[in-house]
Amino acid sequence: MRLISWWRVTYLLAVDYYSRWIEIAHLTQTTSSAIIQHLKSIFGRQGIPEVVISDNGPQYSSREFAKFGETYGFTHITSSPHYPKGNGEAERAVQTVKHLLRKAEDPYSAMLNYRATPLQQGYSPAELLNGRKLRTTIPTMSSHIPNHPDVDKFKEKDHQLKMKQKAYFDKRHRVKALSPMDQPDQPVWIKTPRVTEGSVVNSQPNPRSYILQTPTGNQRRNRHHLRKRSLQPSPGPGDIPRATSLLPAHAATENDVSPGSQLPPPPLPSTEEETKDTSTADAPTEVIRSRAGRIIKPREIWDM
């Protein structure tokens, strides 16, 4: 469930996760009371769902909407802030509805055809939600209309399709599984909206959602926004590492030399090494490049 805007008009969109049945309602106001009235109308036709998933809009976080959920007996779950993928079924339904409204002259006929068209699993949203096919302008044999779907077969095909889509998405985006943060007071980096420090207070019943303690207060974020942070204390005055000797372990020191002995003189460099060092010192050590990466050669000015 979420709000969408189309041609400067706001609509309430509700989609059933099981059947993909979509309901849209025109809103003149975006207050909690207006949304509750349209939801009552939808629930009166289709029944009350067990779970209602929405974003974190002010319409759904009000006391009036919480009382409405208690009265009608459904559980209200909100997606993680700054993570619209948590309400992915509604996001996909928004694309479907906008695609239909963009090309259809009659929006009601477009929604009727969508609800009566079989999905990739072999059944239409009307069959899955109402247990029957809808009559449309397309000629259909009467023997095919009262066809009840096989629920077990649908669930198996739907699960296989979702796993296939997940495999394609994970391969394309190189998705890696993130380990849960079950340790209390786990220090983390929070990426949204800015990178800040924080610690995990507890996890929420929502999928991969955590309550975090930050310098500005408690926040709720998805596991996608968190990275583990190691606590390394800054070095104090007594933690400065001592300078280690650069001599090799077998090198002789002044204490190892007897008073009467003399240290051997250092070996003289050979002529080949001197020539090599001289040529290396005469060579330019810095190469100047332009912004495009081309080498800039210095100008040669001749004395005429």
Confidence tier at 232 by pLDDT (50, 70, 90): low
User: 261 — phi, psi (to 5°)?
Assistant: -90, 160
Q: How far is CA 31 from CA 34, 37, 40, 64, 267, in A?
A: 5, 10, 15, 10, 90
Q: What was the pLDDT predicted at 66?
A: 94
* Range 164-186 average pLDDT: 83
Strands 75-78 and 51-54: parallel
pLDDT in tens, 201-230: 887 767 778 888 888 888 888 888 888 887
Kindly report the length of the chain. Answer: 304
Q: What was the pLDDT predicted at 45?
A: 92
Q: What was the pLDDT predicted at 33?
A: 94
Q: Which amino acid does the sequence have at 152?
A: D
Confidence tier at 284 by pLDDT (50, 70, 90): low
Q: Give the three-state DSSP class for 40.
A: helix
* Range 186-198 average pLDDT: 82
Q: How far is CA 128 from CA 122, 133, 277, in A?
A: 10, 9, 84
Q: Is the pLDDT of residue 278 over 90?
A: no
- Cα separation, 150 vs 128, in Å, equals 9
**Other residues' Cβ atoms within 10 Å of the Cβ of residue 24:** 21
Confidence tier at 233 by pLDDT (50, 70, 90): low
Highest mean pLDDT among 64-78, 126-140, 232-246, 263-277: 64-78
Strands 9-15 and 2-6: antiparallel
Going by C-beta distance under 8 Å and a sequence separation of 6 or more, which residues neighbour residue 46?
Answer: 16, 21, 23, 129
Confidence tier at 304 by pLDDT (50, 70, 90): low
Q: Which amino acid does the sequence have at 239?
A: D
Confidence tier at 252 by pLDDT (50, 70, 90): very low
- Lowest mean pLDDT across 47-56, 167-176, 278-287: 278-287
DSSP one-letter string for 213-238: EETTEEEEEEGGGEEE----PPP-GG
pLDDT in tens, 34-92: 999 999 999 999 999 999 999 888 999 899 999 999 999 999 998 888 887 778 888 88
- Cα separation, 123 vs 146, in Å, equals 13
Superfamily (CATH H level) for 2-149? Ribonuclease H-like superfamily/Ribonuclease H (3.30.420.10)
Q: What's the whole-model pTM score?
A: 0.60
Q: Is the pLDDT of residue 260 over 90?
A: no
Of 267 and 231, the structure prediction assigns the larger pLDDT to 231
Q: How far is CA 63 from CA 67, 150, 230, in A?
A: 6, 41, 39
* Range 7-36 average pLDDT: 92
- Cα separation, 97 vs 107, in Å, equals 9
| Nearest one of 97, 138, 142 to 117, comparing CA atoms | 138
Q: What was the pLDDT predicted at 147?
A: 66
